[in-house]
Structure 1
Amino acid sequence: MTDTERQTAEARSTPGTPAAAKPEQSLQRTETVPAYAADPGDHDAILDRFLDEHGDWEKWRTWSDDTTHVIHESQTLRIERVHEIPAHETAWTVAAYETPVSDRIWVLTATGATPAPVLEELLNHLADGEGWDTVIGAPMDEKIVTAATQPLSEAGWKYTVDGRWIRWTSPAGDAGIQFDAFTTQHPSQNLATWTVWAGADPERPAWTLTASPHTPSPLLADLSENLVHGTGTRSPQTAGRELRKKFAVISPTAQTVTSSLPASRRH
């Protein structure tokens, strides 16, 4: 070996020689954020885990693979999950009924971009089996509204009244709950009286969750508590995308959950 070749070989075999630089890993890291700012995660996987853990809920086959229905054994609480839908459109509909064949009492919807911690909190509350029903025709009074939003008030979320709208907004202004007092006077059970949102502002939300007049206050209180104290994870690249997106407010008209399905179509 020539002197040059020998020096080159020694340099390659010398201990402590820095290894080749690894690709930048920063994009793979995640950050802990409030639940309302977390990533949506895999909604289908969340639903599958829910079914695995709660045998009193059953998955029903539909004519299309685009939609899944999950029904409680009482037949009075039903979930509709629409797959492969744009992030700002309704992907979840929860509806409660007085009896298996009656009109529904209340309905709740959530868009496809709803963060995983928020969705999991909703499903956990449904699985507890408490607070599903409500008194039909009962007025939406101050006591009910206060109970539903108490966690927000205790956490110091900003409270404002603008005509028919009552709002509670996070200190950072990036999330909130809006109550529409006008809809409580309307006979329809399907109007969006409550709107939970997060994002740049209420007119350009990253995601929304809506609930009709008689949605139980314990359920709404659990969601409020989760907004205030819940946490989740978000990847930096997701945060960057969300800042560039402009989502439209979803229609307050909830999708209809099938009232009954024949036993022959169950899994």
Structure 2
Amino acid sequence: MPYASADAHVHFALHPDHHPAVIATTTGPTADAARSHLHDHGFRSTGPTTMVLARIDLEEPHYTAQAAEQLQQLGFTTEIDPALQEEIDTEWTWANYPMPWCTREEIREVGAEAQRIHDDIAEGRLVIHLHAHDGHTTVAVGSYTTGVRRHVHLHGENHLRQKTDIAFGTEAEAVSEFHRLYSVAVRPGPAPLTDLEQAVRRLLAGTTPSTAEETSAPSAEPPVAELGEHEAFLAALFDEDCQWERYRPSDETTIASHESLTVRAEFDHEARHRTDVAWTVAEYDGPVGERLWHATLTAGTPVPLIHTILQHLDAPPLTTADHPDDVLHEAAWHPASHPARTTWAAPGGTMVFESTPHAVADRWTLYGGEDLDRAAWTIRLSAGVPHDLLAQLAETAADLFPSPTRPAPRLLPAPISRLPAAVPARHFRGR
């Protein structure tokens, strides 16, 4: 259809309450034409001059960039907030994607299909008859009400929901097969909305959670290091502990070498984004020996966890510890087994300790943030890392997010060396 002349300004910015959703603010004589184009890209009106893009695949920055480019080609004036531009420029990855063989574009295609299914259900084009839980995820059976009438089985939630390959000619056939597959687990109607689906629908409706909902939500925020905390910790390391020597091969890098010549920690002063590696730590089998193991820590990693690693390397305990899951079990972290890995999730779901027993580079991963699919910080440890260090990391992580069974947090391991006390961590909500 023809549109009016392009005489409008569109400003894009991250939604203040739900990252990475995007708010588009339109002004100018032909703002309605710009809004029509934005609607074609998934934006929905929430006010006279505002529209919101909120997706269950968390790809809002990517699709915002596409919308802005098209508007520019049509002659509209667009402006992208710097924080949103950083999200657009960052190719993030899912922390726990169950199909690791997929490329980034294939992952985006899977998410786009899940988004289409979500929209079809939300807008009444796909009616869900029954749902069930197959032991791993939610499954459902439904029928399309528009176009060529189709009857489908669905598998998965949020960005992973897909149609199965089975084709059904009638609703009765689809429902009968669903009953056969899932038996007593079958429940009527659609499954309850996931937390993400609820948040997306609230945003698209232009509403926010009620005060009662906000006060009933967990008040603890996941710990994330603020800008400058790592720098302060590094400075204290050299100022207060003479067992570490400083080398500055460039303006961007500082190397901390232990007096034993078997431990090396490299700090990148330019690391800023949550996916940037700020620390690389390694231990060697003697001053000129082979590397035993290594770890990387991103820019938002809480300082107490960095302290734990360096403290262990400075003065390892005399006795070895058991497997870290003993500590996590005591702290009431929730275990879950997957075909290729085992995870332990903190109460409240803001931190995860993961073991991938067949991996070499990333044998162990500890990550956290308000949205674990886009972790605010990540620690990756290779095969060969001592179990006593893993147990100490698990202890520190459990103390950072105490559960009712561990009400008294102990933010740092008991001092066993002259390493400086960790800089007190200031918290903000990460994604």
Q: TM-score scaled by structure 1?
A: 0.64
Aligned to 2:392: 222
Distance 1:148 1:182, change over 3 A: same
Structure 1: which 4+ aligned runs deviate by more than 6 Å?
A: none
The 3-state SS of whatever aligns with 2:396 is: helix
Conservation of the 8 A alpha-carbon contact between 2:283 and 2:294 = yes
**1:44 to 2:44 alignment:** no
Q: Could you tell me which residue of structure 1 aligns to residue 358 of structure 2?
A: 182
1:88-125 Cα deviation digits (max 9, x unpaired): 21110110110222220100110011112222232222
| 2:201 aligned partner | none
The answer to whether residue 376 in structure 2 is matched with residue 206 in structure 1 is yes
- Across the aligned residues of Structure 1 and Structure 2, the Cα RMSD in angstroms comes to 2.3
Deviation (angstroms), 1:210: 0.6
Partners of 1:113 and 1:151 lie apart in 2 by 24
Q: CA deviation at 1:74?
A: 1.6
Match of 1:112 in 2: 299
CA shift, 1:68, in A, is: 0.8
Structure 1 equivalent of residue 266 of structure 2: 80
Measured at CA, do residues 57 and 129 of structure 1 come closer, stay the same or move farther in structure 2, by a change above 3 Å? farther
Q: Is residue 54–residue 127 contact of structure 1 (8 Å, CA) maintained in 2?
A: no
The structure whose RCO (Cα within 8 Å, separation 6+) is larger is: 1
Q: Which residue of 1 aligns with 2:26?
A: none
Counterpart for residue 172 of structure 1: 348
**Contact 1:33/1:233 (8 A) holds in 2:** no
Q: What CA distance in whole angstroms lies between the structure 2 residues aligned with 1:119 and 1:60? A: 19
Partner of 2:383, secondary structure, is coil
User: SS of the counterpart of 1:126?
Assistant: helix
Deviation per residue, 1:194-233 (Å, 9 max, x gap): 0000013443100000101111111111111011113564
Task: Give the secondary-structure state (helix, strand or coil) at the position aligned to 1:102.
Answer: coil
Q: CA offsets, 1:61-86, max 9 Å, x none?
A: 31x11011111112111001111213
Distance 2:371 2:391 in 1: 22
3-state SS of the aligned residue for 1:37? coil
Tell me the equivalent position of 1:28. none
SS in 1 for 2:324: helix
Q: Sort the Cα spacing of 1:33 and 1:43 in 2 relative to 1 into closer, same or farther, 3 A.
A: farther
What does residue 426 of structure 2 align with? 234
In 2, the alpha carbon distance for the partners of 1:78 and 1:210 equals: 16
Partners of 1:213 and 1:202 lie apart in 2 by 23
User: What's 1:101 paired with?
Assistant: 288
Question: 1:68 pairs with 251, 254, 261, which one?
Answer: 254
Read off the aligned partner of 2:254 and give its amino acid letter: T
Comparing 65-74 with 197-206, greater Cα deviation is found at 197-206
Give the structure 1 partner of residue 326 of structure 2: 150
Residue in structure 2 matching 1:125, options 312, 334, 349: 312
The one-letter code matched in structure 2 to 1:221 is A
CA change 1:73–1:33 in 2 (3 A) is: farther
Read off the aligned partner of 2:251 and give its amino acid letter.
Answer: D
Bigger Rg, which one: 2
For residue 85 of structure 1, give the secondary structure of its aligned residue in structure 2: coil
CA distance in 2, matches of 1:106, 1:202: 26
TM-score, normalised by the number of residues in structure 2: 0.41
2: CA distance, partners of 1:129 / 1:51: 19
Whether the 8 Å CA contact 2:258–2:314 is kept in 1: the answer is no
CA distance in 1: counterparts of 2:307 and 2:270, whole angstroms: 19
Provide the secondary structure at the position in 2 that maps to 1:84: coil
| Structure 2: gaps of 5 or more residues | 1-218, 401-410, 412-423
**Counterparts in 2 of 1:251-262, with a 5 A limit?**
none
Q: Compared with structure 1, are the counterparts of its residues 53 and 126 closer, same or farther at alpha carbon in structure 2 (3 Å cutoff)?
A: farther
Q: CA deviation at 1:127?
A: 2.6
Give the SS at the match of 1:99: coil
Question: Residue 197 of structure 1: which of 348, 352, 367 is its match?
Answer: 367
Question: How many residues were matched structurally?
Answer: 188
Structure 1 contact 38–117 (Cα < 8 Å) conserved:
no
- Deviation, 1:193, is 0.5
Q: Percent identity?
A: 34
Q: Which amino acid aligns with 2:355?
A: F
